[in-house]
Structure 1
Amino acid sequence: MNGLNLKTSDIFYNKLDNRFNQYGDTDKCNDLDNKLEYHHGVYEFCSSLIGNLKKFDELPSLSLFDKYRCRYFNIWIYEKLKKLFPDIKDPKYTTMQTKIMNFWDSYKEDKECNLDFPSYIINNNQYDKMKDLYDYALNYEMLKLDIENNNYPCTHEISNYIEKSIQLYNEIKRECAVTVEHKKYCAALNEIKDIYGNEQLTKLKCSKVLSSEEATTQVEEILERRLDGVQFREVDTHYGIQATDEHSRDTGLVNQQVTTSFSDSNDAMTVVLPLVGILLTFFVLYKFTPIASRLRLLLLKRKVIEGKMNENSPHELLENIFDSVETNAPRDHHTVGYHPVLNV
């Protein structure tokens, strides 16, 4: 998949597949795998499920929808179950479902999150609409950032996704305005409206639509132009206070940084937030597209010194979706990062 077509929901579900699978129970998963005749994918799902249940409070943040992580977790479980055993009448389906419920009782300590996925089986005709609506709401934040803030073009896939999602949103809104029957997608709509209001999700529109290859090239060009306006300089951080390297030409910058870091935080955010958008797109392109080598050469030319990402970054998705930098960074109090200075 082209990196520009990746959505927040896709990345979140992929993280549930992989982040905590090392915390699974080998004995129980081997036993289940044997019982289901070593059906492909069972052991991996079992390990991921138990790991996620053990580490539920540490699951990736969902930003504005973090309080609904239980919803998305149940969706992930049901999607994995359907993929493993598409036929609900398959005896292995029943065995797997029962085991999931047993694991939930054994490992899930947070009683506020209910095991809801069995109800999706009963109301499968409502489930698809509910899932698509929840996913679009989760994806909206980053789609809006790319389209409206960063002025990135859409791929045809993303443009079609947005149009279909808005069509679904309006369809559900009309239906739920007149129905008295409780439906899961109506409940989803009400939760989403509490965050985004009644109309905000219907206003997203691509300003330019290109093929995946053309869009990737244009985003790369945009990133290069923006990086041309930034100078990267080595900084030494000690207990959270940044200072420029002693060989920096701007010897007076250290005191200015310390003074203004507390008094001019709003001004700093005007620099940080655009850079966060650049960095987020860079990580997507670097990890998932063929242009990684070109971007790497660009950054080497710029002498970027990578360091530990601040755990309190203004954009939580950098920590929670693209967290490989944090994982590999040293954990001591002295780290090396970078200090961006805009050319003016």
Structure 2
Amino acid sequence: MADQEDFKYNLKSINHYKYLDTYYKFGGSQSECDLLRREFPSKEGIYDFCLSLRGNLEYFDNLKNLDLFTNDKCQYLNCWIHDRLLNLGFDIAGESTTIFLQILKYFTFFKLDEKCKYEFFHIDKKKYEKMKKLYDYILDFMNIKWYANTYGCSEENKEYINERRRIYQEVKVDCEKNTSQPYYCIVLKHLKEAYKNDELTSFECTKMKSSPPRAQLGETLQGAHHGDSGDLQHALGPGSDHPREFPTTSAGQTEESSFPSSTPMAVFFPFLGSLLSVFTLYRFTPMGPWLRTRFLPKKMDGTNMGEVETFESVENDYENVNLTPHISKHLIGYNP
């Protein structure tokens, strides 16, 4: 189960790209997309991409406004197009030129030249990836900030944020060195428009998570409950090297009644010691005949003799077995 306190599982950019994948997909022309599939038979998934693209272009006016910067829905549509093309195996050279020209035709067909232009095909892969990470960070920032300040950051979260800050500095240096990269450097303008006063570029994780998230711990314990004793041992900590058995009690039973009382044991063991001493004197010392004549009747029946033998057997085993209170009950019987 995903940790719902981690911002990685609550990124708005991922949801927005899924929205562009699916929401207007079946508004696209199947016949036109079938032509594109035949033109690029080795590109698995290009038919579905075409349906989504044409649907988004046809219903461009209905696409979500993200309220970040001017015409942001066009910029994120461009991010989505180029990301999906890279995933399909297209790049800026070779056969990619053909697909870029086809997409430009789609934009013209839907008369979007005045509203939104297809632009990112000018940018090489490495620069595009930097730019996309910054655009995604702009879209995700409010969620990231809220989760980081509310629940704290893991080391992975901290590195995620620091990487975006480094990328911002790299893009800034690139654009200062070469000002003739308008499609690449526009991200800096959009970033400042969305977040003034360097709020985004100066943000850091100041609250770190000190223990496993509750969702993860709950999942571990739940897995252990269903039989994974290794996970349970890990969850309980290094002190639990062996599985332990705990007594179960009924709903109305108290903790006190779950364990044997110490009072009977305190009475029993001194009594047992005295009994063993008397028996030893009786059987193995010259005092035996004297004890027999002073305290015992002249005859013992067969039942009691058998019980004496039983006690002798128990005595021999006593060193190896923990004797419990009920074992010794009625070990020796006497006739009045």
Question: Which range, TM-score by smaller chain?
Answer: 0.5 to 0.7
Match of 2:208 in 1: 208
Per the alignment, residue 182 of structure 1 pairs with: 180
The equivalent residue for 2:232 is none
- Report whether the alignment pairs 1:114 with 2:117: yes
Taking a change above 3 Å as real, the CA distance of residues 202 and 181 of structure 1, as seen in their structure-2 partners, is: closer
- What is the number of equivalent residue pairs in this alignment? 213
Residue 104 of structure 2 is matched in structure 1 by 101
In structure 2, what is the Cα distance between the partners aligned to 1:16 and 1:127? 19
Equivalence for 1:20: 24
- Deviations 1:26-61, CA, capped at 9 Å, x for gaps: 111112212222631011000000000011122233
Q: Give the C-alpha shift of residue 124 in structure 1.
A: 4.0
Q: Structure 2: which amino acid aligns with 1:117? A: F
Q: CA deviation at 1:107?
A: 1.9
Amino acid across the alignment from 2:177: T
Tell me which amino acid in the other structure corresponds to 1:39: K
1:15 & 1:56 partners in 2: Cα distance? 13
TM-score by length of 2: 0.56
Distance 1:219 1:195 in 2: 38
Query: Aligned to 2:164, what secondary structure does the other structure show?
Result: helix
**Which residue number in structure 2 is paired with residue 58 of structure 1?**
62
The alignment's TM-score, normalised by the length of structure 1, stands at 0.54
TM-fit CA distance, 1:181: 2.1
Structure 1 residue 169, shift from structure 2 partner: 1.9
**CA shift in 2, pair 1:66/1:218, >3 Å:** farther
In the TM superposition, what are the counterparts of 1:35-54 in structure 2 within 5 Å? 35-37=39-41, 39-54=43-58
Q: Aligned ranges for residues 144-183 of structure 1 at < 5 Å?
A: 144-148=145-149, 151-174=150-173, 176=175, 178-179=176-177, 181-183=179-181
Superposition deviation, residue 219 in structure 1: 11
CA 1:16/1:153 → structure 2, altered by over 3 Å: closer, same or farther? same
Amino acid at match of 1:16: L
Distance 1:50 1:64 in 2: 24
Partner Cα separation in structure 2 for residue 51 and residue 42 of structure 1:
14
Identity percentage of aligned residues: 32
Distance verdict in 2 for CA 1:180–1:162, change over 3 Å: same
Tell me, yes or no, if structure 1 residue 81 matches structure 2 residue 85: yes
**Root-mean-square deviation (Å):** 3.0
SS at match of 1:164: helix
Shift of 1:72: 1.4
